[in-house]
Chain A
Amino acid sequence: MSVLESKIPEGPIEKKWTKHKNEINLVNPANKRNIDIIVVGTGLAGGSAAATFAELGYNVKTFCYQDSPRRAHSIAAQGGINASKNYQGDGDSDYRLFYDTVKGGDYRSREANVYRLAEVSSNIIDQCVAQGVPFAREYGGLLDNRSFGGVLVSRTFYAKGQTGQQLLLGAYSAMNRQINRGKIQSFNRHEMMDLVLVDGKARGIIARDLVSGNIERHSAHAVVLASGGYGNVFYLSTNAMGSNVMAAWRAHKKGAFFANPCFTQIHPTCIPVSGDLQSKLTLMSESLRNDGRIWVPKHEKDAKAIREGKLKPTEIAEEDRDYYLERRYPAFGNLVPRDVASRAAKERCDEGYGVNKTGQAVYLDFKAAIERYGKEKAFTSGHKNPSKEEIIRLGEQVVESKYGNLFEMYEKITDQNPYKTPMMIFPAVHYTMGGLWVDYNLMTTIPGCYAAGEANFSDHGANRLGASALMQGLADGYFVLPYTIGDYLAEDIRTGTISTETEEFVTAEKEVKERIQKLFDAKGKNPVDYYHKKLGRIMWDKCGMSRNEKELKEAMEEIKELREDFWKNVRITGKAETKNAELEKAGRVADFLELGELFAKDALERNESCGGHFREEYQTEDGEALRDDENFRFVSAWEYVGNPRDAKLHKEQLEFENIELKTRSYK
C-alpha cells in the first residue's frame, strides 16, 4: 500500500471539482483574520495565490529573492495562455483542452488535476480582463486568439510576445491592492533557507535578508511554495540567473516527496550557445515554427565548410538541404511537439551535420515564407508580374509584421540579419515538469506545505504543451489553492499565532547559520560558477535530450564527486552579514548538486521513453520514443532518506478512465 494519497474526489471527472468544493471545510471570515499564510515566490502562481488569500481575509507574507515581486521569471514567458473559451467556435471545450494536455504530456499526468485545470481556464481570462490585462484584440474589440503547439484549435490568448509579463503585472496589481490594505507584507530581496516543521506540520520558514544578511524566523499556519522550476541545474537554460530549487529542495529534505525529477522540457528553438563564457540562453518563441523551415546541409562536407566559415547557408542549393523534420514527420512537419523537434535536431548535430562554429545548431529558414507571402501580397495588391526583388520586399514586410520583435531580438544577440540569412537555433533547457509531489489539494507530503505552479509536478506529465505553464500557474493561485487551503486551515481557527521562539525555530535557524558558515569555511580555490558550470556539463551531456544506463550511472558518480569537492574547495569571498551574491549562488548550487544526483537516479530507474525523457535503450526501430504503460504508468515520488542516491521510491499509479492510452505519432 502506497503512502501516497492523491485524494482525488469520487464521481465523474467533470463533477469532481464542483463536488469537492461543496464538501470541503470553510473558514469563516472572522477567523481568517487570525490565520497567517506564507507564500514563497511571487510569480504567476505565488503572486496570484497571495493576492487571493489576502482578499479572502488571511494575513499573508510573501517572499521573493528579486527586488520586487514583479520581476519573477514568469515575466519572461512569451507566447500565450491557453483557455477553453471556444471564442473561435472551432470546437474547443474543457474536454478537448484536458485531452490535449494529457496526451501532450505522454500520459504521465493525473487526469483529475488536468481536468480541473481545463475547467477553470476560462475563468482565468475573465479574471485577467477584469484586472486590466491588455490582451490582444481584434478590430471589433473582442479578444484575439492564436494557435500554438500543434493542437487543432485556436485557444491561445496573448499580448504580443509578452504575455507572461502582462499576466504577472496583473497578479502584481492584485497584490498591490492588498499590500496597500496591509493584508500582504511583501519581503523582497529575501530567500527562503529552510522550512520549519512543528509537530510534523509546516509552520514557518527561515529566510535570509539578502541585503543585511540577517537570518530571520517567520511563522504561519501554512506555507505555500511557488518557487518555480529547477532548470538551472543545467547551468545554461532559459531560466533567470537566480531561478533555483532551494525552497523546494529544503522542503524535500524535511519530508516532501519530489516527483519525476527527470521530466525536463528542452525547447527546440533557442539561440545557440556562442562561447564558453555564456551565462544564459534565450528562447525564440515556438510561433516561429509556423512559418520557418528547419534544415541542415544534406552533405557532411557542406556542413564542415559552413563550420569553418568557407560556405554560407544561402549558397547551398535547395536539393542539397535536408529538411529533416519534414522528411521524418510528413504529417506534422516543422510543427511536431517540442520534445520530438529537439531530439531530431540533436540527432542531426550528433551525426556531424550541425552548423555554427560549434556544430551545435540547425537552420530555421524564412526564405520560403518570405517568397510565399510576397507573392500573395503582390497578387492582392494588383501586381500580376512582380519582380523577384518586389516579391522579397513585400514578403519581408509581412514577416516583419508577424515576427518583427523576435527578429530584432535575434539580430541584437547574434548580429545577423534573419531576413537575409537563416536563423540558427538549438534546443535548450526551458521548463521542468517534475517538482514536489502534491495531492489533489496541492498539498505536499508535509501537512500544511503546499506547492503551486512549476514547483509542483501535477499537470504536465512528461512534456508540457506550449502556453500551458501560464494557465497552470494562475489556475493554482487564483482558483485552486484559495479553496483547498481553507479545508486544511479550518482546523487552525483556535491555534493562535505560531511562536517563533520554539525549539523547532531555534534549531532550524542554527542549522541555516551553520550551513552558511560551512560554505565560508571551505576557503578553497574555486569560484561557485566553476562548480555550477561543471554540473551543467554533466547534466547536459548525460541527463539531457537522450539518456542511457551507462551514462546515467556515470553522472551519479560524477555529481557526487563534484559535490564533495564543492564543500571542500569552494571559495566564497566577502561576508555573510552583507549583500553577497557569491554566497547566494553558493547556497543554490549546493542544492543543485544534490538534486542533480536524484535527477539522474530517477532517469535511470525509469526504463521507458516518454515525453522529454528519452532513454536510448527504449526506442522503436526508426528512433521514436517507446513508452511502457504496463510497467511505468506511475509517478515516481522520491522520499529523502539521507543521500540523494538512497532516496526511496514511492509510486503513484496513474489511472486513465477518461482517455484511452495511445502511442503518440506525428508521422
Chain B
Amino acid sequence: MKLKLKVWRQEDAQDKGGFKNYDVDGIDGDMSFLEMLDVLNNNLVNEGIDPVEFDHDCREGICGSCSLQINGEPHGPDRRITTCQLHMRKFKDGDEIVIEPFRATAFPVIKDLVIDRSAFDRIQHAGGYISVNTSGNTQDANSIPIDKQDADDSFYAATCIGCGACVAACKNASAMLFTSAKVSQFALLPQGKIEAHERVLEMVHQMDKEGFGNCTNTGACEIECPKGISLENIARLNREYLSASVFS
C-alpha cells in the first residue's frame, strides 16, 4: 500500500504547529498503525529529518499511552481498540490519512503528537484511592463478600486505561467518563463506600479546575472508548455527587 499522510508537527508547547505531508510506501495490511508510523520515522531519519514524536509503549491496547486522532476519530476508524491495535488493513492503497494529537485545552501538546495528560493524574491524586495502609494487617480477603454483579460492574469501570479518547471525542472536552469510571469502581464496593462522599466531591472539583468541559450527555465518549466504559458510570457519578452535596 502507498499512503498520503498529513501529520501534525509542533516543535514544543510554545510553537503554533501545523500539518506536514508525507508519503509512505510498502505498507502491509498486517502492520499496526504505529508500525506504519515506524516506517515513516525510519524514512525521515534516513533523510535527516526529525522523526514524528508520538506516545506508545505496550502496543497491546492496555497501557493507554497511544493517543492519536486519526481522520478525526480518537484511535481511528475501528471500535473498541486503541491506536496500537488499529491495523492497516482498515485502509486502502492511495488513502489520505490525517493524524493529529488528541485535542483538548486540558491536554496541551508537548511535541508533535505527544500530549500532556497529567490532568488525569491530578484527578486521581485528588481522591482515586481507598485510605488503607499497605501494611498487610487488614482482614481476610473473604471476610467481606461482595455481590457478584457489583464486583463485575466495579471491574468493568476499572478497566479504563486513562488514554483520554473520551475527552478527545467530546465536543465539550469533558472528562466525565474517565472520572466517573474511577468514582464508580470504588462506589460499587463496600470498601469504597466510607469515603465515597469526599471522593466524588474532590475528584469532580479537581476535574473542573483542570479546565475540562461539562457533560451534555452526547455519548460520543462511550462510542470512542477503547474499553467500552459505559455511560451508566456518568449517571452513577451524578447520583453520588448529588447525594454527597446534600448530605455532607
Q: Convert B112-127 into 0s and 1s, putting 1 for each residue whose CB lies closer than 8 angstroms to a CB of A.
A: 0010111011001111
Chain A residue contacts of B6, Cβ below 8 A:
none
Total interface residues in chain A, CB < 8 Å: 81
From B49, B138, B152, A126 is in contact (CB under 8 Å) with: B138
Q: Are A277 and B139 in contact (CB under 8 A)?
A: no
User: A73, B151: Cβ atoms under 8 Å?
Assistant: no
B133→A579 contact, CB < 8 A: no
Beyond A141-B147, A142-B145, A241-B56, 10 additional contacts (C-beta under 8 Å) are A55-B134, A68-B121, A70-B124, A75-B63, A141-B146, A240-B58, A275-B28, A415-B89, A482-B135, A579-B114
B208-228 Cβ-contact flags toward A at 8 Å (1 or 0): 000000000000000000000
> Is B128 interfacial (CB 8 A cutoff)?
yes
Complex interface bits, A53-71 against B, C-beta within 8 A gives 1, otherwise 0: 0010000000000111011
Instruction: Find out whether the CB atom of A169 lies under 8 angstroms from the CB atom of B158.
Output: yes
Q: Kindly supply a per-residue 1/0 record for chain A positions 558-591, scoring 1 wherever the CB is within 8 Å of any chain B CB and 0 otherwise.
A: 0000000000000101100011111000000000
Cβ of B45 < 8 Å from any Cβ of A?
Answer: yes
Check A332 for interface membership: any CB of B closer than 8 A.
Answer: no
Q: How far is the CA of A571 from the CA of B63 in the complex (A)?
A: 29
Determine the distance from Cα of A573 to Cα of B51 in the docked complex, in whole angstroms.
8
Can you list 17 contacts pairing A with B, beta carbon distance less than 8 Å? A52-B134, A71-B58, A126-B136, A127-B134, A127-B138, A132-B130, A134-B155, A139-B148, A165-B158, A176-B128, A186-B121, A211-B110, A238-B60, A275-B30, A275-B31, A278-B31, A527-B46
Assembled-state Cα–Cα distance A67/B55 (Å): 9
A653 at the interface (CB under 8 A from B): no
Which of B35-43, B95-103, B231-239 forms contacts with chain A?
A: B35-43
Shortest CB–CB separation between residue B120 and chain A, in angstroms?
A: 7
Q: Report which A residues bind B (CB closer than 8 A).
A: 48, 51-52, 55, 66-68, 70-71, 73, 75-76, 85, 87, 120, 123-132, 134-143, 159-160, 162, 165-166, 169, 172-174, 176-177, 179-180, 186, 188, 211, 238, 240-242, 274-275, 277-280, 282-283, 409, 412-415, 478-479, 482, 527, 529, 571, 573-574, 578-582
In the complex the two chains form, is A67's CB within 8 Å of B117's CB?
Answer: yes
Contact B140 A279 (CB under 8 A): no
Residue B111, interface by CB 8 Å? yes
Residues in B whose Cβ lies below 8 Å from that of A137: 146, 148, 151-152
Question: By the criterion of a CB under 8 Å from any partner CB, how many residues of chain B are at the interface?
Answer: 79
Within 8 Å by CB of B129, from A162, A176, A280, A582, lies A176
In whole angstroms, how far apart are the Cα atoms of A71 and B60 in the complex?
12
Q: Which of A143, A242, A580 contacts B142 (CB 8 A)?
A: A143
Q: How far is B189's CA from A137's CA once the two chains are assembled, in angstroms?
A: 12
Which chain A residue lies CB-closest to B133? A55
Known: A75-B63, A143-B141, A240-B57. A120 touches B136 (CB 8 A): yes
Distance of A173 Cα from B110 Cα, bound (Å): 26
**How many angstroms from the CA of A157 to the CA of B233 in the assembled complex?**
26
Evaluate contact between A172 and B124: CB separation under 8 angstroms.
Answer: yes
B191, A132: Cβ atoms under 8 Å? yes
Q: How far is the CA of A177 from the CA of B138 in the complex (A)?
A: 17
Residues of B within 8 Å of A177, CB to CB, are: 129, 131
The 8 Å CB contact of A277, one of B28, B129, B147, is: B28
Q: Kindly state the separation between the CA atoms of A165 and B162 in the bound complex, as whole angstroms.
A: 12
> Does B159 count as interface, using CB distance less than 8 angstroms?
yes
- One digit per residue, 1 when the CB lies within 8 angstroms of any chain A CB and 0 when it does not, for chain B 8-40 equals 000110000000000000001111101100110
When distances are taken between beta carbons in the complex, the residues of chain B under 8 Å from A138 are 148
State how many angstroms separate the Cβ of B41 from the closest Cβ of chain A.
Answer: 8
Contact indicator B126/A173 (Cβ below 8 Å): no
